[in-house]
Amino acid sequence: MFSIIICNYNNEKYLPKCIKSVIDQSFSDWELIFVDDGSTDNSIDVCRRFASQDSRIKLVRKENGGLTSARLAGLDAAEGDYIAFLDSDDWMDKDFLRESYSIIKERAVDIVVFSYSRVFDSIGLLKFRHGVPSSVCGYHSHDSFINKLYVQSLYSFNPAIPVFLWGKCYSKSLLSRAKLHNEGVFMGEDRVWNLDLFLLAESVFISDYHAWCYRYGGVTARLNPGYFSDRKYYYKKASSIAACNSLKDWEPTLAQTMFHFFMRYVEVLILSKTPEQQAKSLITEELMDPTWREIQDVLSKEDRNDSLVSAFVNADIEVLYGLSKSSLAASSLRNKIKSIARRFL
Express each pLDDT in 51-89 by its tens digit.
999 999 999 999 999 999 999 999 999 999 999 999 999
The DSSP result for 138-149, as a single string, is EEEEHHHHIIII
What average pLDDT does the segment 278-282 reach?
A: 94
Could you tell me where the DSSP H helices lie in the chain? 15-23, 43-51, 67-77, 96-107, 142-145, 151-154, 172-177, 189-200, 227-244, 251-271, 276-287, 290-300, 307-313, 317-343
Report pLDDT for 302. 84
Residue spans of the domains in the chain: they are 2-221, 250-343
Give the SS3 label for residue 162.
Answer: coil
Superfamily of domain 2-221: Spore Coat Polysaccharide Biosynthesis Protein SpsA; Chain A (3.90.550.10)
The answer, yes or no, to whether residue 226 has pLDDT greater than 50, is yes
Percent with pLDDT over 90 in the chain = 81
What's the pLDDT score for residue 118?
85
* pTM tops 0.85, yes or no: yes
Q: What is the pLDDT of residue 125?
A: 53
Q: What tens digit of pLDDT does each residue of 96-137 get?
A: 999 999 999 999 999 999 999 888 765 555 566 777 889 999
Predicted pLDDT at 127: 61
* Partners of 213 in the β-ladder: 91, 117
Amino acid at 71: R
Q: What is d(CA 206, CA 203) in angstroms, rounded to the nearest whole number?
A: 10
Higher pLDDT, 113 or 345: 113
Contact 199, 237 (CB under 8 A): no
Identify how many contiguous H helices and E strands the chain contains and give both numbers.
14, 10
User: Binning pLDDT at 50, 70 and 90, where does residue 305 land?
Assistant: confident
Determine the Cα angle at 235 with ends 326 and 158, to 5°. Answer: 55
pLDDT one-digit tens code per residue, 16-65: 999 999 999 999 999 999 999 999 999 999 999 999 999 999 999 999 99
How many residues does this entry show for the chain?
345
Q: Are 32 and 79 a contacting pair, CB within 8 Å?
A: no
